[in-house]
Amino acid sequence: MNIDQIGEDLITQINDGSELAFSELYKAYYVYLNTIAIYYLFDKNVSAEVVDDVFLNIWYKRRTLAFPVHSYLIRAVQNGCLNYIRSQRNLQSVLDEHKEQIWAFQEDCIVSTPVPLQYVELKETEAEIKEAVSSLPSKCRSVFESYFYAGKSAEEIAEEMNLKVSTVRVQIKNALDRLKLMLKHLLFILFFI
């Protein structure tokens, strides 16, 4: 079945819960909607996820699906793409902010450690931070170290580790959240992390 053959009777069958009818709609529109998503996102894997989410939402709300569906499906994919772009932009700005704060903290420590006792305290704190980082799950730790210590971008890490960029960003956020919990007794660090 192709897009032109989608009729009101098929939509009625979907409203009634027919998985076969839903499958026909999916097969007819999947490639078309995926092409639209790729146009906006430039990433076939993320585009496939967006289109799958659209169809999943349609199935959950199948009783309210109305004919004609063509414009509705296109708009749903466009909205899904916009939501993805917004979420990635927000996540990236949070990650960049944390990265800048950590670098600023490191620079302040280097500049303001002329006293040996401060140096010893800093080394102890540094050891505690390294221990906390080493206790992270291996993938999370690798991503965190590559991002904060090696200064690699989320895109570079994703390519090296064969992960999605969104997965890398989530791993960085998870690492920061875990470190905040583990290092909460280091009050001055919490200000920077």
* Residue 191 pLDDT: 44
Instruction: Specify the DSSP element, H or E, that contains 173.
Output: helix 165-182
For residue 100, tell me if it sits in a domain: no
For residue 94, tell me if it sits in a domain: no
Instruction: Count structural domains, the chain.
Output: 2
* Residue 59 pLDDT: 93
What is the mean pLDDT for each group of 10 consecutive residues in the chain (193 residues)?
79 91 92 88 88 94 88 91 82 67 60 52 73 87 86 88 89 84 62 44
Residues 81 and 9 in one domain: yes
* Residue 94 pLDDT: 63
Amino acid sitting at position 79: N
Residue 172, C-beta contacts closer than 8 angstroms, at least 6 positions apart: 95, 143, 144, 147, 154
| Residue-wise burial string across 74-94, b where 16 or more C-beta atoms lie within 10 A, e elsewhere | eebbbebbeebeeebeebeee
Residues 21 and 72 in one domain: yes
For residue 69, tell me if it sits in a domain: yes
| Residue-wise burial string across 183-192, b where 16 or more C-beta atoms lie within 10 A, e elsewhere | beebeebeee
For residue 74, tell me if it sits in a domain: yes
For residue 98, tell me if it sits in a domain: no
Residue at a domain's end among 85, 101, 135: 85
Residues 70 and 143 in one domain: no
Residue at a domain's end among 35, 68, 85: 85
Residues 64 and 134 in one domain: no
* Residue 189 pLDDT: 47
* Residue 192 pLDDT: 45
Residues 69 and 133 in one domain: no
Q: Among 76, 37, 74, 46, which residue's Cα sits nearest to residue 60?
A: 76
Residues 77 and 120 in one domain: no
Instruction: Specify the DSSP element, H or E, that contains 40.
Output: helix 19-41
Residues 81 and 18 in one domain: yes
Residue 47 buriedness (CB in 10 A; 0-12 / 13-18 / 19+): buried
Residues 118 and 56 in one domain: no
* Residue 76 pLDDT: 93
Residues 73 and 16 in one domain: yes
CATH of the domain at 146: 1.10.10.10
Number of Cβ atoms within 10 Å of the Cβ of 61: 9
Give the whole-angstrom CA distance, residue 74 versus residue 144: 37
Range of the domain at 41: 3-85
Give the whole-angstrom CA distance, residue 20 versus residue 84: 29
